[in-house]
A and B are shown apart, each in its own frame.
Chain A
Amino acid sequence: MVNEVLFWTVALLTVIPSLALIFAKRPVHIAMSIVLVMVGLAAAYVGMGAPFLGMVQIVVYTGAVMMMFLFVLMLVGVDNAEDLRETIKGQKWIAFAAAGGLAILLIAVIGDATIEPRTGDVVGNPEEIAMVLFSEYVLVMEVLGFLLITAAVGALVLTHVPRLTPRRTQVELQAARVAAGADPVNKPMPGVYARHNALDVPALDPEGNPIEDSVSRVLEVRHQTQDGAEFRAQLEDTDNPDHEARPHGAPSRDSDTRNTREGEEPK
């Protein structure tokens, strides 16, 4: 005899999330639904006198197997959209018919079977399980050990990628870069005019021409660079005796607001 409330709880907790396997779009949602199914099955095991198996179910399935599924999903890429083109015409309906037929067949067979339930209550706690496992089934237990080791080694072999070329050292990488025409020294720093936060102003070479490479490429892409002309003009202004000299180091107001993009509020 089993508790009726337990049965319906387990039935709802397993059948509804498992339908996600067929209807849900995102693989991560499916994996989490299957986790729920596993927990429901564990509850069923505990309710049917198999507490050890219920615990193993939670540890092995929800803890290890489904988390490994999630790892692989993340590794492969969650956004890997499923291809919904049908290579076999009407495969969807054939599959539904086959699965439905299987369900009907199984239920018919189960309904037809006659069983004589024995009375008596047996509880599969770890002690009882161990007594049976290590007396009657000890050989199977050993074979399962082999199986697990083989599976672990097999996974290692399958996912191992041999290195085809020797690893390149840093010296070799540097030599290759120079040979390809890269500048062997650092790029010059930006910002010759110390009037504001001058990462957006190119440095000047000894002849006074701006060096375009000295400004970060990101700023160029965002059109946030300046050519430094207005700063040069200001410097020349302060050199001019007619002009009232600004206090040294005081930032000029318009040069600070000028470098924000148009339409963008200065923070």
Chain B
Amino acid sequence: MTAMSFVYLAAILFAIGAAAVLLRRNAIVAFMGVELMLNAANLALVAFAHMYAELDGQIMAFFVLVVAAAEVVVGLAIIIALFRARQTISLDEPAELKG
């Protein structure tokens, strides 16, 4: 069994995360779906690093991790600001974001 099986696993996890983003109305749950997608990409990067015996894949995964952490901070702050403004975190509500 090669590390390629982990890439398949990453693809499945990515699809599950995408389904969560598309399905869920709760902003926090949709956001967790985004996190799962980022982690799936990380898993693929680490698997490729293992296959090619190079460290660069791991470095990239590390960068993705840092960017994801920054993104979570800002995203949750936006969710809190949204909740303060309209007492809900449903993604259907902010209809005035429509262009």
Q: What's the interface size class on A, roughly?
A: 35 or more
Verify A68–B43 contact, CB threshold 8 A: no
User: Tally of A-B residue pairs with Cβ under 8 A?
Assistant: 235
Given known A-B contacts A34-B36, A117-B51, A56 and B9 have beta carbons under 8 A apart: no
Smallest beta-carbon distance B95→chain A, Å: 9
The answer, yes or no, to whether A147 is at the interface (CB within 8 Å) is yes
Verify A38–B78 contact, CB threshold 8 A: no
Smallest beta-carbon distance B48→chain A, Å: 8
What CA separation (Å) do A41 and B24 show in the bound complex? 23
What CA separation (Å) do A102 and B22 show in the bound complex? 12
Verify B89–A144 contact, CB threshold 8 A: no
Verify B15–A106 contact, CB threshold 8 A: yes
The size of the chain B interface, using a CB distance under 8 A, is 71
Verify A137–B65 contact, CB threshold 8 A: no
Interface residues of B in 69-99 (CB under 8 A from A): 69-74, 76-81, 83-84, 88-90, 92
Q: Which of A3-11, A214-222, A239-247, A248-256 is the contact stretch?
A: A3-11
Smallest beta-carbon distance A153→chain B, Å: 10
Interface string of B42-77 (1 = CB under 8 A from A): 110011011111111011011101111111111011
What CA separation (Å) do A179 and B54 show in the bound complex? 77
Verify A4–B56 contact, CB threshold 8 A: no
The answer, yes or no, to whether A186 is at the interface (CB within 8 Å) is no
Interface residues of B in 1-37 (CB under 8 A from A): 1-9, 11-20, 22-26, 28-29, 31-33, 35-36
Q: Kindly list chain A residues whose C-beta atoms are within 8 Å of the C-beta of B76.
A: 68-69, 72, 155
What CA separation (Å) do A72 and B80 show in the bound complex? 7
Smallest beta-carbon distance B38→chain A, Å: 10
Smallest beta-carbon distance B5→chain A, Å: 5
Smallest beta-carbon distance A146→chain B, Å: 10
Q: Kindly list chain B residues whose C-beta atoms are within 8 Å of the C-beta of A69.
A: 28, 31-32, 72, 76
Verify B50–A49 contact, CB threshold 8 A: yes
Verify B88–A80 contact, CB threshold 8 A: yes
Verify B8–A21 contact, CB threshold 8 A: no
Given known A-B contacts A118-B53, A158-B81, A98 and B6 have beta carbons under 8 A apart: no
Q: Kindly list chain A residues whose C-beta atoms are within 8 Å of the C-beta of B43.
A: 41, 44-45
Binding site for A on B (CB under 8 A): 1-9, 11-20, 22-26, 28-29, 31-33, 35-36, 39, 42-43, 46-47, 49-56, 58-59, 61-63, 65-74, 76-81, 83-84, 88-90, 92
